[in-house]
Amino acid sequence: MDAVLLKSLPVKDPDQLVLLRWRAGKSFRISISGDTWTDKGFANGNILPLPTYQELRDKTQTLQHLCAFAPLQQINANVNGQAELAQGQIVTGNYFATLGVQPMLGRLLEDSDDQVSAEPAVVISHRYWQRRLAADPNVIGKQIALNKKSFTIIGVTPPEFFGALNVGYLVDVTVPMASELLPQMWAQDTKKPEFFWTLVMGRLKPGMTRTQAEVEIATLGNPLLNATQKK
């Protein structure tokens, strides 16, 4: 993952980015299996419950701009009266700040966009901007319907930015967590402490090492993950 994805991201100081993962016994239970694997008798995974992310974000002293994100597949996107399926991602408001990405047009999502009271905002990829909006230079402020909900386009990512999800997953649209655009079958579960679904990425604070971050995150995270196994 480090070699193929993190170090190839066209972002600020990619070598300072870390993607959190866990390792546990085979009996460890999670809600979704798509981002887990078994190795030498141990279960491994990259996805975490949202409350676990929030706790780590609030308490970490070794990482800065800790963000969470997850894929949104087969979104019904309607642009100028024409509908099609699009691929997207749902992210915390500090996602782009964590990665250190600069917009090609407009601005990118911020913490203020990731509020229930905020106007629904979306960032589109350069590829999607060219393909579906004919590279319209006046695209900022235009409306796009995602799963029949209206969003305002606030920015376009640079052409070389493909997101931090799996290699080959092309993101068309990025929306904040507060947009509540998650699949219906997940909607009631995403805030539960035992529901694993978000990837979590952070950036090392200046002067901190990966080893220091690993020790701290293990100390903070192990009790949180162990608690998810208690019924």
The domain ranges of the chain are 6-227
List phi, psi (to 5°) of 62. Answer: -105, -20
Residue 21's SS3 state is coil
Q: What is the Cα–Cα distance from 21 to 201, expressed in whole angstroms?
A: 10
Model pLDDT, residue 3? 46
What letter represents residue 54's amino acid? Answer: Q
Report pLDDT for 169: 79
Q: Residue 19: how many CB atoms within 10 A of its CB?
A: 14
Measured from the Cβ of residue 34, the count of other Cβ atoms closer than 10 Å reads 11
First and final C-alpha spacing in the chain: 33
What pLDDT does residue 206 have? 94
Q: Which residues of the chain fall below pLDDT 50?
A: 1, 3
Sequence length of the chain is 231
Compute the distance between CA of residue 169 and CA of residue 87 in angstroms, rounded to an integer. 8
| Contact call for residues 43 and 66 (beta carbons, < 8 A) | no
- In contact, 79 and 133? CB cutoff 8 Å: yes
Q: Phi, psi (5° rounding) for residue 28?
A: -65, 130
pLDDT of residue 34: 59
Residue type, 123: V
Instruction: Look at strands 47-49 and 22-25 and give their pairing.
Output: unpaired
Q: From the CB of residue 158, how many other CB atoms can be counted at a distance below 10 Å?
A: 14
- At 1 the pLDDT is 42
In our burial notation (b when 16+ CB lie closer than 10 A, e otherwise), range 117-154 reads ebebbbbbbbbbbeebbeeeeebeeeebebbeeebebb
Whole-number pLDDT of residue 70: 92
Between CA 28 and CA 21, with CA 169 as vertex, the angle to 5 degrees is: 30
9-65 pLDDT, tens digit per residue, is 778 888 888 989 888 887 887 766 556 777 777 888 889 999 999 999 999 999 988
pTM for the complete prediction? Answer: 0.91
* CA atoms of 156 and 151, how far apart (whole Å): 14
Looking at residue 187, its pLDDT comes to 72
Torsion angle in degrees (nearest 10) through CA of 186, 181, 124, 202: -50
Q: How is residue 46 annotated by DSSP?
A: S
